[in-house]
Protein backbone atom coordinates (compact mmCIF):
# COMPACT_ATOMS: atom_id res chain seq x y z
CA UNK A 1 0.00 0.00 0.00
CA UNK A 2 1.48 3.37 -1.02
CA UNK A 3 1.40 5.90 1.80
CA UNK A 4 3.35 8.72 0.19
CA UNK A 5 1.95 11.93 1.62
CA UNK A 6 1.14 14.87 -0.60
CA UNK A 7 -0.38 16.93 2.19
CA UNK A 8 0.30 20.59 2.88
CA UNK A 9 -2.02 20.85 5.88
CA UNK A 10 -1.98 24.56 6.55
CA UNK A 11 -3.24 25.55 3.10
CA UNK A 12 -5.45 22.68 2.04
CA UNK A 13 -9.17 23.10 1.39
CA UNK A 14 -9.55 19.32 1.35
CA UNK A 15 -7.24 16.76 2.93
CA UNK A 16 -7.37 13.03 2.33
CA UNK A 17 -5.49 10.89 4.82
CA UNK A 18 -4.82 7.22 4.04
CA UNK A 19 -8.08 6.82 2.16
CA UNK A 20 -9.23 3.30 1.33
CA UNK A 21 -12.50 2.40 -0.26
CA UNK A 22 -13.64 -1.16 -0.80
CA UNK A 23 -16.84 -1.63 -2.78
CA UNK A 24 -19.01 -4.72 -2.35
CA UNK A 25 -18.79 -7.57 0.10
CA UNK A 26 -17.57 -11.15 0.32
CA UNK A 27 -15.97 -12.56 -2.80
CA UNK A 28 -17.05 -9.58 -4.93
CA UNK A 29 -14.98 -6.93 -3.23
CA UNK A 30 -13.26 -4.28 -5.33
CA UNK A 31 -10.65 -1.98 -3.83
CA UNK A 32 -11.33 1.34 -5.53
CA UNK A 33 -8.95 3.42 -3.37
CA UNK A 34 -5.92 1.93 -1.74
CA UNK A 35 -4.20 4.32 0.64
CA UNK A 36 -4.58 7.77 -0.91
CA UNK A 37 -3.13 10.72 1.03
CA UNK A 38 -3.46 13.99 -0.78
CA UNK A 39 -4.13 17.65 -0.13
CA UNK A 40 -5.85 20.18 -2.37
CA UNK A 41 -4.45 23.64 -1.63
CA UNK A 42 -6.86 26.56 -1.43
CA UNK A 43 -7.21 28.61 -4.58
CA UNK A 44 -5.74 25.95 -6.84
CA UNK A 45 -7.11 23.81 -9.65
CA UNK A 46 -6.35 20.08 -9.51
CA UNK A 47 -7.15 17.60 -12.28
CA UNK A 48 -7.48 13.92 -11.50
CA UNK A 49 -6.66 11.50 -14.30
CA UNK A 50 -6.07 7.80 -14.61
CA UNK A 51 -7.15 4.75 -16.58
CA UNK A 52 -10.76 3.60 -16.45
CA UNK A 53 -11.50 2.00 -13.08
CA UNK A 54 -8.48 3.60 -11.38
CA UNK A 55 -10.68 5.19 -8.69
CA UNK A 56 -11.14 8.77 -9.90
CA UNK A 57 -14.89 9.05 -9.33
CA UNK A 58 -14.64 7.22 -6.03
CA UNK A 59 -11.99 9.69 -4.89
CA UNK A 60 -14.18 12.64 -5.87
CA UNK A 61 -17.27 11.15 -4.18
CA UNK A 62 -15.35 10.45 -0.97
CA UNK A 63 -13.64 13.85 -0.94
CA UNK A 64 -17.04 15.51 -1.33
CA UNK A 65 -18.54 13.49 1.51
CA UNK A 66 -20.98 11.67 -0.78
CA UNK A 67 -19.43 8.26 -0.14
CA UNK A 68 -17.98 6.96 3.09
CA UNK A 69 -14.43 5.61 2.86
CA UNK A 70 -13.75 2.17 4.32
CA UNK A 71 -10.67 3.58 6.05
CA UNK A 72 -8.96 6.94 6.36
CA UNK A 73 -9.91 10.50 7.10
CA UNK A 74 -11.27 13.40 5.05
CA UNK A 75 -10.93 16.96 6.28
CA UNK A 76 -13.18 19.33 4.37
CA UNK A 77 -13.18 23.02 5.21
CA UNK A 78 -11.35 22.14 8.43
CA UNK A 79 -13.94 19.54 9.51
CA UNK A 80 -13.30 15.81 9.89
CA UNK A 81 -16.35 14.56 8.00
CA UNK A 82 -16.00 11.01 9.34
CA UNK A 83 -17.02 12.37 12.73
CA UNK A 84 -20.24 13.83 11.40
CA UNK A 85 -23.64 12.21 11.12
CA UNK A 86 -25.50 12.14 7.80
CA UNK A 87 -27.44 15.32 8.56
CA UNK A 88 -24.29 17.25 9.49
CA UNK A 89 -22.53 16.00 6.36
CA UNK A 90 -25.42 17.11 4.17
CA UNK A 91 -25.27 20.55 5.76
CA UNK A 92 -21.49 20.70 5.30
CA UNK A 93 -21.88 19.84 1.61
CA UNK A 94 -24.55 22.48 1.12
CA UNK A 95 -22.42 25.13 2.76
CA UNK A 96 -18.99 24.31 1.43
CA UNK A 97 -19.27 22.39 -1.83
CA UNK A 98 -20.43 22.99 -5.37
CA UNK A 99 -20.82 20.27 -8.01
CA UNK A 100 -20.82 20.10 -11.76
CA UNK A 101 -21.25 16.88 -13.70
CA UNK A 102 -21.05 15.78 -17.30
CA UNK A 103 -24.84 16.11 -17.59
CA UNK A 104 -25.87 19.72 -17.01
CA UNK A 105 -29.05 18.67 -15.14
CA UNK A 106 -30.84 21.93 -15.85
CA UNK A 107 -34.63 22.17 -15.61
CA UNK A 108 -35.85 22.85 -19.16
CA UNK A 109 -38.91 24.87 -18.15
CA UNK A 110 -36.94 27.30 -16.00
CA UNK A 111 -34.79 30.25 -17.00
CA UNK A 112 -31.04 30.31 -16.39
CA UNK A 113 -31.55 32.51 -13.32
CA UNK A 114 -34.24 30.22 -11.91
CA UNK A 115 -32.00 27.20 -12.49
CA UNK A 116 -29.19 28.90 -10.58
CA UNK A 117 -31.51 29.71 -7.69
CA UNK A 118 -33.39 26.40 -7.47
CA UNK A 119 -31.06 24.11 -5.44
CA UNK A 120 -30.52 26.74 -2.77
CA UNK A 121 -34.26 27.23 -2.51
CA UNK A 122 -34.74 23.46 -2.13
CA UNK A 123 -32.11 23.51 0.60
CA UNK A 124 -34.07 26.22 2.40
CA UNK A 125 -31.39 28.83 1.78
CA UNK A 126 -32.51 31.98 0.13
CA UNK A 127 -30.10 33.42 -2.39
CA UNK A 128 -30.72 37.01 -3.40
CA UNK A 129 -31.39 38.18 -6.94
CA UNK A 130 -28.02 39.97 -6.78
CA UNK A 131 -26.22 36.73 -5.89
CA UNK A 132 -27.87 34.97 -8.86
CA UNK A 133 -26.98 37.84 -11.19
CA UNK A 134 -23.43 37.88 -9.88
CA UNK A 135 -23.03 34.12 -10.35
CA UNK A 136 -24.28 34.33 -13.94
CA UNK A 137 -22.04 37.34 -14.60
CA UNK A 138 -19.04 35.43 -13.21
CA UNK A 139 -19.49 32.84 -15.96
CA UNK A 140 -20.10 35.50 -18.62
CA UNK A 141 -23.87 34.95 -18.90
CA UNK A 142 -25.29 38.14 -17.37
CA UNK A 143 -27.22 38.80 -20.58
CA UNK A 144 -28.75 35.32 -20.64
CA UNK A 145 -30.45 35.24 -17.21
CA UNK A 146 -33.93 35.07 -18.76
CA UNK A 147 -33.12 32.36 -21.32
CA UNK A 148 -34.22 28.75 -21.02
CA UNK A 149 -31.72 25.89 -21.53
CA UNK A 150 -33.07 25.17 -25.04
CA UNK A 151 -32.13 28.71 -26.02
CA UNK A 152 -28.51 28.24 -24.94
CA UNK A 153 -25.56 26.33 -26.44
CA UNK A 154 -24.15 23.27 -24.65
CA UNK A 155 -21.23 25.32 -23.36
CA UNK A 156 -23.55 28.04 -22.11
CA UNK A 157 -25.74 25.44 -20.39
CA UNK A 158 -22.72 24.02 -18.60
CA UNK A 159 -21.77 27.57 -17.58
CA UNK A 160 -25.27 27.95 -16.07
CA UNK A 161 -24.61 24.71 -14.15
CA UNK A 162 -21.29 26.25 -13.05
CA UNK A 163 -23.07 29.40 -11.86
CA UNK A 164 -25.57 27.20 -9.99
CA UNK A 165 -22.70 25.38 -8.28
CA UNK A 166 -20.98 28.63 -7.34
CA UNK A 167 -23.89 30.83 -6.26
CA UNK A 168 -23.41 29.91 -2.60
CA UNK A 169 -19.68 30.66 -2.89
CA UNK A 170 -18.55 27.15 -1.95
CA UNK A 171 -15.05 26.51 -0.61
CA UNK A 172 -14.51 23.76 -3.16
CA UNK A 173 -15.90 23.11 -6.63
CA UNK A 174 -16.02 19.43 -7.58
CA UNK A 175 -16.32 18.71 -11.28
CA UNK A 176 -16.76 15.17 -12.66
CA UNK A 177 -16.03 15.15 -16.40
CA UNK A 178 -17.56 18.65 -16.79
CA UNK A 179 -16.70 18.78 -20.49
CA UNK A 180 -17.50 15.15 -21.29
CA UNK A 181 -20.67 16.04 -23.19
CA UNK A 182 -19.26 19.05 -25.03
CA UNK A 183 -17.52 19.50 -28.35
CA UNK A 184 -13.97 20.81 -28.53
CA UNK A 185 -14.88 24.48 -28.91
CA UNK A 186 -17.49 24.62 -26.13
CA UNK A 187 -15.23 22.53 -23.87
CA UNK A 188 -12.56 25.18 -24.14
CA UNK A 189 -15.10 27.87 -23.30
CA UNK A 190 -16.10 26.08 -20.08
CA UNK A 191 -12.51 25.25 -19.12
CA UNK A 192 -11.35 28.82 -19.70
CA UNK A 193 -14.19 29.94 -17.43
CA UNK A 194 -13.20 27.47 -14.72
CA UNK A 195 -9.58 28.62 -14.98
CA UNK A 196 -10.64 32.25 -14.73
CA UNK A 197 -12.68 31.50 -11.59
CA UNK A 198 -9.57 30.00 -9.99
CA UNK A 199 -7.34 32.92 -11.04
CA UNK A 200 -9.74 35.75 -10.26
CA UNK A 201 -11.86 34.42 -7.41
CA UNK A 202 -9.44 31.91 -5.88
CA UNK A 203 -11.99 29.12 -6.42
CA UNK A 204 -10.49 25.83 -5.23
CA UNK A 205 -11.39 23.33 -7.95
CA UNK A 206 -11.09 19.58 -8.21
CA UNK A 207 -11.86 18.03 -11.60
CA UNK A 208 -11.93 14.44 -12.82
CA UNK A 209 -11.26 14.18 -16.53
CA UNK A 210 -10.14 11.81 -19.27
CA UNK A 211 -9.09 14.69 -21.49
CA UNK A 212 -5.43 15.81 -21.37
CA UNK A 213 -6.38 19.19 -22.85
CA UNK A 214 -8.89 19.72 -20.02
CA UNK A 215 -6.32 18.61 -17.42
CA UNK A 216 -3.81 21.05 -18.90
CA UNK A 217 -5.95 23.91 -17.53
CA UNK A 218 -5.15 22.79 -13.97
CA UNK A 219 -2.25 23.73 -11.71
CA UNK A 220 -1.57 20.13 -10.75
CA UNK A 221 -2.49 16.79 -12.30
CA UNK A 222 -2.86 13.80 -9.99
CA UNK A 223 -2.63 10.44 -11.74
CA UNK A 224 -4.33 7.43 -10.20
CA UNK A 225 -3.66 3.82 -11.02
CA UNK A 226 -5.27 0.85 -9.28
CA UNK A 227 -6.59 3.09 -6.52
CA UNK A 228 -3.22 4.60 -5.69
CA UNK A 229 -1.50 7.85 -6.57
CA UNK A 230 0.81 6.98 -9.44
CA UNK A 231 2.08 10.53 -9.85
CA UNK A 232 1.40 14.17 -9.14
CA UNK A 233 2.73 16.67 -11.62
CA UNK A 234 2.60 20.46 -11.22
CA UNK A 235 2.03 22.29 -14.50
CA UNK A 236 3.82 25.44 -15.53
CA UNK A 237 1.03 27.71 -16.77
CA UNK A 238 3.42 29.38 -19.23
CA UNK A 239 3.90 26.11 -21.11
CA UNK A 240 0.37 26.40 -22.59
CA UNK A 241 -0.48 23.65 -25.10
CA UNK A 242 2.75 21.81 -24.29
CA UNK A 243 1.15 20.87 -20.97
CA UNK A 244 -1.57 18.90 -22.76
CA UNK A 245 1.07 16.95 -24.67
CA UNK A 246 3.00 16.24 -21.45
CA UNK A 247 -0.19 15.06 -19.69
CA UNK A 248 -1.15 12.86 -22.66
CA UNK A 249 2.30 11.25 -22.70
CA UNK A 250 2.07 10.58 -18.97
CA UNK A 251 -1.39 9.04 -19.34
CA UNK A 252 -0.23 6.83 -22.20
CA UNK A 253 2.57 5.57 -19.94
CA UNK A 254 0.05 4.60 -17.25
CA UNK A 255 -2.25 2.86 -19.69
CA UNK A 256 0.58 0.90 -21.35
N1 LIG B 1 -20.77 0.95 -6.33
C2 LIG B 1 -19.79 0.13 -6.70
N3 LIG B 1 -19.85 -1.19 -6.45
C4 LIG B 1 -18.86 -2.02 -6.80
N5 LIG B 1 -17.73 -1.62 -7.42
C6 LIG B 1 -17.60 -0.31 -7.72
C7 LIG B 1 -18.63 0.64 -7.39
N8 LIG B 1 -18.23 1.85 -7.80
C9 LIG B 1 -17.02 1.69 -8.37
N10 LIG B 1 -16.65 0.40 -8.32
C11 LIG B 1 -15.38 -0.18 -8.80
O12 LIG B 1 -14.32 0.53 -8.19
C13 LIG B 1 -13.27 0.76 -9.13
C14 LIG B 1 -13.03 2.26 -9.27
O15 LIG B 1 -14.20 2.83 -9.88
P16 LIG B 1 -14.29 4.38 -10.24
O17 LIG B 1 -15.63 4.61 -10.84
O18 LIG B 1 -13.89 5.20 -9.07
O19 LIG B 1 -13.14 4.50 -11.35
P20 LIG B 1 -12.89 5.67 -12.41
O21 LIG B 1 -11.41 5.86 -12.47
O22 LIG B 1 -13.72 6.86 -12.10
O23 LIG B 1 -13.39 4.95 -13.75
P24 LIG B 1 -13.95 5.57 -15.12
O25 LIG B 1 -12.85 6.40 -15.70
O26 LIG B 1 -14.22 4.36 -15.96
O27 LIG B 1 -15.18 6.36 -14.80
C28 LIG B 1 -13.70 0.09 -10.43
O29 LIG B 1 -13.11 -1.19 -10.45
C30 LIG B 1 -15.20 0.00 -10.30
O31 LIG B 1 -15.70 -1.10 -11.01
List, as one string, the DSSP characters of 30-49. EEEEEEEEEEEETT-EEEEE
Q: Is residue 76 part of a domain?
A: yes
| 4 found inside a domain | no
Nearest CA to ligand 1 atom 26: 52
Distance 9 CA to ligand 1 centre (A): 28
> What is the arithmetic mean of pLDDT over 202-209?
96
The number of the ligand 1 atom at minimal distance from the alpha carbon of 55 is 18
- Report pLDDT for 2: 40
Does 1 score more than 50 pLDDT?
A: no
Q: How far is the CA of 106 from the centre of ligand 1 (A)?
A: 26
What backbone torsions phi and psi does residue 42 show, to the nearest 5 degrees? -60, 140
Using most ligand atoms within 8 A of CB, pick from 47, 56, 61, 176 the residue to mutate for ligand 1.
56
Q: By CB neighbour count within 10 A (0-12 exposed, 13-18 middle, 19+ buried), where does 224 fall? A: buried
Let me know if residue 5 belongs to a domain. Answer: no
Average the pLDDT over 131-159 and give the result.
94
Ligand 1 centroid, distance to 33 Cα (angstroms): 9
Q: How confident is the model at residue 4 (pLDDT cuts 50, 70, 90)?
A: very low
- Ligand 1 is surrounded, with C-beta below 6 A, by 23-24, 30, 32, 50, 52-58
Give tens-digit pLDDT for 15-51: 999 999 999 888 789 999 999 999 999 999 999 999 9
Residue 1 counted as domain residue:
no
Task: Using DSSP, state whether 73 is helix, strand or coil.
Answer: strand
Does the residue 2 lie in any domain?
Answer: no
Spatial distance between the Cα atoms of 135 and 119, rounded to a whole number of angstroms? 14
Q: How far is the CA of 252 from the centre of ligand 1 (A)?
A: 20
Q: Please answer whether residues 47 and 218 qualify as being in contact, where contact means their C-beta atoms are separated by less than 8 angstroms.
A: yes
We report the CATH number of the domain holding residue 129 as: 3.40.50.300
Domain count, the chain: 1
Mean pLDDT of all residues in the chain?
A: 90
User: Is the residue at 94 inside a domain?
Assistant: yes
Between the CA of 58 and the centroid of ligand 1 the distance, in Å, is 7
**Which residues constitute the domain of residue 193?**
12-255
Q: Among 107-111, 182-186, 232-236, which stretch is predicted with the lowest mean pLDDT?
A: 182-186
Mean pLDDT across 177-196 = 90
Q: What is the pTM of this model?
A: 0.90
Indicate whether 3 belongs to any domain.
no
Mean per-residue pLDDT for 167-188? Answer: 90
Amino acid sequence: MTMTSHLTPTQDAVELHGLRKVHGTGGRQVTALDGVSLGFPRGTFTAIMGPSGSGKSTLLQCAAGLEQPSEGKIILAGVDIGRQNEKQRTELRRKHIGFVFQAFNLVESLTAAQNVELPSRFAGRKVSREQVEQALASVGLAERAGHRPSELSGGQQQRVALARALVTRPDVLFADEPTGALDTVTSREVLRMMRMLVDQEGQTTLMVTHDPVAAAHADVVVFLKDGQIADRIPLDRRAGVNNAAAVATHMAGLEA
